[in-house]
Amino acid sequence: MPGFFDHSEIWRNQVLAGVVAGAVCGYLGIWVVLRRVVFVAAALGELAGLGVVTAFLLALSYVAPEPVHRPPSTGTAHVPAGVLPSAFVAPRAETVDSRLSALDPPPPPPPPPSDVVSDDDLAALLDQVGVQGAGTAVGTEAAHPPAAGARETGAPEAGTPPARMTSSAVFGADGVRPYVPPEGAAERDAAAGGGPELSVPVWLEPMAVAVAFVVLGAILLSITPRYRRVTNESVVGLAYLVAAGLVILVGSRIPQGTHEVQHVLYGDSVSLDAGQLYGLLGAAAAVALVHLLFFKEFLFVSYDPETARASGVPTRAMGILLLVSIGVIIASASRAVGALPVFAFLVLPAVAALLCTSSLKGALALSATIGAAASALGYYLAWIWSFPAGAARAVTAAIFVVPALLVRRLRGN
Amino acid sequence: MDRASLIRCRDLGIGYGRRTLLRGLELEIASGDFLGIVGPNGGGKTTLLRTLLGLLAPQAGTVVARRADGGTLRFGYVVQREHLDRTFPLSALDVVLMGRYGRLGLLRFPHAADRRAARDAMDRVGVGDLAGRPFRDLSGGQQQRTLIARALAGEPDILVLDEPTNGMDLAGEGAVMDLLAEINRGGMTVLMVSHALSTVMNRADRLAYVRHDRGLFRLGPAADLLRPEVLGELYDTPVRVTRIGNHVVALRECDAAAPGPNDPARADGE
């Protein structure tokens, strides 16, 4: 385990967020699986992604008066240097290599601001304003491969630009060190016109927009009328496809958004800033409170909505509230750990738990435990084997289904 | 003795969406009644039931459901058990406890008294020893009794059952109907829907025939409606009504006349 426990300051927030997301999604997954709304959860995940990219696009429009275009064929972007506030980008951008890059010799003087920059220039520019490693996901290929031996030693060889190393070569290697802000970064932020003083409204914070999108989607999907000629799954599929398509379309209009969107969708970021962790904890606490207060109604309307309604339970309101609670967690957890692991935690731990137990409360507790364990273990395996964290967490959650199947087989069907 | 009216329908129109199935229905259910709603499959029985329960809005007219003291009528609804999802990992007691949820209301948690009421209801219908068993592992008859216990656990004013004997064997069907008759004798009002006339006609005091494609709705004492001409109109085939002891049996005229598979005459013919 090269360097894992020596550098808890890097992964502490990310692992904690992952454990919380895994536990809460594991708990909610029981409702998702039992209510047969797995596709709805997938659609809400896409809506969360759409909310994030929309927030980025709106933020760019907000801080950059001129329209932003990105012709796909050129790979360049019209974006004023340092236009995106670092607070908007940094949480996703702090990867292990970015932290390492901060410890290397000071970067060369910043180039003169330009209206047209390539992705590489943009990343370098963001490095200079304190947003190092923007768009560098763990396990993704960077422009310059690592020098031979870098993976083994964990130390970049001379002449290899650390910030442009293949992330997987760095992730998990010895010598991972904590992030230290570059000397004079704040001053350069100010000089570049970006950084903390360029603020965007709170309502444009990606998590807030994602939550808004998901809540709206959850309400719309809950009140969608039933059509005789169209199955409900088709309506959900429509929502999923529209959201997925719009994520790509809107993402294509965000100059430095590609990697950011990838982070959100696949959960590849190594670390997490405290603000997002607190956001997730707040959302988890709110959802826990809602479920504590309305558990019996959620159970009744999920199991037997007709009798619940005949008994005076407000089934439609409870159905919407349950779906909104799932959506809020999808949005906040996706922003923190990525949509792929969140979707995995919403399905796989519940499947494993339902195979193992015949008690609802037992299944809820077991599913939450599996989700938390899969998240922590998946992250750890990603670290030691240099895998993308999001995919590692999803696959680890899937692995838990195997012993559950064995348990089911041993007990008989 | 004049019994209190629990449900009163005046000029009622029932249907789904823009589709009206029946209109002009007049129906009254009094405390202590055992009313069976019968008719062919797709005849509109469940639509009528759901309208009485308030799950569907009347398309015309009014449905007044009130207790004798003017309070809101509390239904103990027994849904068709095929509608319940077998993947839910619930014990029989978990299912019965749901019967208390409507009574508890929002933001209130079940307490020991609610669990006690649920267990009492299970004992009453003879499934008290199954409380800890997974509901999905119970037999059809045990599941039906558990669902009746759930309805009773809410201390309803009226027990409403939708096809409670569907998919059950002869013994199970008879046991459930005996149970309902016993519950009715205890003073509980029972409203039951069934497509199987023979299941209902010897237990219910009154019958309602429903067949929307003929615009047919007949309501009256069971003895008045169990006549060949009425049943023939309802089922669109000649019907013979006969008696075995105290029980009425209805058969299609052609079935009554034809030799059965074990008839010696038929065997000789082969």
Domain identity same for A45 and A74? no
CA distance A272 to chain B (A): 36
Task: Report the pLDDT value the prediction gives residue A152, as an integer from 0 to 100.
Answer: 36
Domain identity same for A321 and A188? no
Percent above pLDDT 70 for chain A: 61
The mean-pLDDT minimum among A25-39, A156-170, A376-390, B56-70 falls in: A156-170
The answer to whether residue A225 is domain-embedded is yes
Residue A65 has pLDDT above 90, yes or no: no
Mean pLDDT, 10 residues at a time, chain B of 270 residues? 84 89 93 91 90 93 90 92 91 96 92 95 93 93 93 94 85 87 93 86 89 89 85 84 82 75 59
For chain A, how many structural domains are there in total? Answer: 2
Residue that terminates a domain, selected from A143, A163, A192: A192
The answer to whether residue A273 is domain-embedded is yes
pLDDT band for position A247 (cuts 50, 70, 90) = confident
Residue that terminates a domain, selected from A148, A173, A192: A192
Contact A294 B106 (CB under 8 A): yes
pLDDT band for position A169 (cuts 50, 70, 90) = very low
Task: Report the pLDDT value the prediction gives residue A334, as an integer from 0 to 100.
Answer: 86
Domain identity same for A132 and A210? no
Mean of pLDDT over chain A: 73
Which of B87, B88, B103, B143 is the best mutation test for A, with the most CBs of A within 10 A? B88
The answer to whether residue A181 is domain-embedded is yes
The model's pLDDT over A308-345, given as tens digits with 9 standing for 90+, comes to 999 999 999 999 999 999 999 998 898 888 888 999 99
Contact B98 A299 (CB under 8 A): yes
Task: Report the pLDDT value the prediction gives residue B2, as an integer from 0 to 100.
Answer: 66
Return the number of other C-beta atoms located less than 10 Å from residue A66's C-beta: 11
Task: Report the pLDDT value the prediction gives residue A145, as an integer from 0 to 100.
Answer: 37
Contact A359 B89 (CB under 8 A): yes
Residue that terminates a domain, selected from A192, A222, A248: A192
Residue A224 has pLDDT above 60, yes or no: yes
A342, A330 in Cβ contact below 8 A? yes
Domain identity same for A53 and A83? no
Task: Report the pLDDT value the prediction gives residue B265, as an integer from 0 to 100.
Answer: 60
Residues of A whose CB is below 8 A from B90? 303, 360
Return the number of other C-beta atoms located less than 10 Å from residue B78's C-beta: 25
Domain identity same for A257 and A393? yes
Of residues A245 and A226, more confidence is placed in: A245
Domain identity same for A73 and A39? no
Q: What is the CATH number of the domain that holds A360?
A: 1.10.3470.10
Contact A310 B160 (CB under 8 A): yes
Task: Report the pLDDT value the prediction gives residue B176, as an integer from 0 to 100.
Answer: 87
Cβ within 8 Å of B, A 275-314:
293-294, 296-297, 299-300, 302-304, 306-314
The answer to whether residue A270 is domain-embedded is yes
Residues of B whose CB is below 8 A from A309? 55
Task: Report the pLDDT value the prediction gives residue A164, as an integer from 0 to 100.
Answer: 34
**Looking at chain A, which residue has its C-alpha nearest residue B51?**
A310
Range of the domain at A319: 5-58+202-411
CB nearest to B89's CB, from A306, A314, A354: A354
Domain identity same for A276 and A394? yes
Task: Report the pLDDT value the prediction gives residue A48, as an integer from 0 to 100.
Answer: 87
Of residues A99 and B63, more confidence is placed in: B63
Residues A380 and A390: their CA atoms lie apart, in Å, by 11
Residues B202 and B216: their CA atoms lie apart, in Å, by 22
Residues of A whose CB is below 8 A from B101? 296-297, 300, 308, 311, 313
H and E: helices and strands count for chain B: 11, 11
Listed residue (A307, A355, A302) closest to A325, CA to CA:
A302
Contact B101 A311 (CB under 8 A): yes
The answer to whether residue A197 is domain-embedded is no
The mean-pLDDT minimum among A114-118, A344-348, A387-391 falls in: A114-118
Task: Report the pLDDT value the prediction gives residue B251, as an integer from 0 to 100.
Answer: 83
CB nearest to A360's CB, from B89, B103, B106: B89
Task: Report the pLDDT value the prediction gives residue A310, as an integer from 0 to 100.
Answer: 93
CA distance A143 to chain B (A): 50
Q: Which two tokens stand for residue A90?
A: 């940094």
Which of A311, A321, A357 is the best mutation test for B, with the most CBs of B within 10 A? A311
* String of DSSP letters for A291-329: HHHHHHHHHHHHH-HHHHHHTT--HHHHHHHHHHHHHHH
The answer to whether residue A336 is domain-embedded is yes
Cβ within 8 Å of B, A 391-410:
none
Cβ within 8 Å of B, A 360-379:
360, 362-363
The model's pLDDT over A107-119, given as tens digits with 9 standing for 90+, comes to 555 544 444 444 4
Domain identity same for A278 and A391? yes
Cβ within 8 Å of B, A 32-61:
33-34
The answer to whether residue A54 is domain-embedded is yes
Contact B89 A308 (CB under 8 A): no
The answer to whether residue A169 is domain-embedded is yes
Q: Which two tokens stand for residue B181?
A: 């008759």
Domain identity same for A360 and A217? yes
Query: Coil, strand, or helix at residue B137?
Result: helix
**Looking at chain A, which residue has its C-alpha nearest residue B102?**
A311
A316 and chain B in contact, CB less than 8 A: no
* Rounded (10°) angle between helices A274-303 and A206-223: 10
Task: Report the pLDDT value the prediction gives residue A265, as an integer from 0 to 100.
Answer: 61
CB nearest to A307's CB, from B54, B79, B87: B79
Domain identity same for A331 and A210? yes
**What is the rounded average pLDDT of the residues A223-244?**
81
CB nearest to A304's CB, from B79, B134, B160: B79
CA distance B101 to chain A (A): 7
Q: Which two tokens stand for residue B111?
A: 């307490």
Domain identity same for A136 and A267? no
Task: Report the pLDDT value the prediction gives residue B36, as an integer from 0 to 100.
Answer: 93
Q: Which two tokens stand for residue B126?
A: 């003879």
Residues A42 and A26: their CA atoms lie apart, in Å, by 15
CA distance B201 to chain A (A): 26
Residue A205 CB partners (closer than 8 Å, separation 6+): A55, A88
Residues of A whose CB is below 8 A from B160? 310
CA distance A398 to chain B (A): 20
Q: Are strands B34-38 and B206-211 parallel, antiparallel or unpaired?
A: parallel
Task: Report the pLDDT value the prediction gives residue B185, as an integer from 0 to 100.
Answer: 93
Query: Coil, strand, or helix at residue B221?
Result: strand
The position carrying tokens 């240099």 is A386
* Sign of the torsion angle spanned by Cα atoms A156, A336, A141, A189: negative
The model's pLDDT over A119-140, given as tens digits with 9 standing for 90+, comes to 455 455 445 434 343 333 333 3
End-to-end CA distance of chain A: 40
Domain identity same for A215 and A183? no
Residues of B whose CB is below 8 A from A306? 55, 77, 79, 83
CA distance A337 to chain B (A): 29
The mean-pLDDT minimum among A1-15, A56-70, A244-258, B16-30 falls in: A56-70
Residues B200 and A404: their CA atoms lie apart, in Å, by 46
Of residues A58 and A352, more confidence is placed in: A352
- The predicted complex's ipTM stands at 0.88
Size of interface A-B (CB pairs under 8 A): 73
Residues A343 and A331: their CA atoms lie apart, in Å, by 11
The position carrying tokens 């594991």 is A26
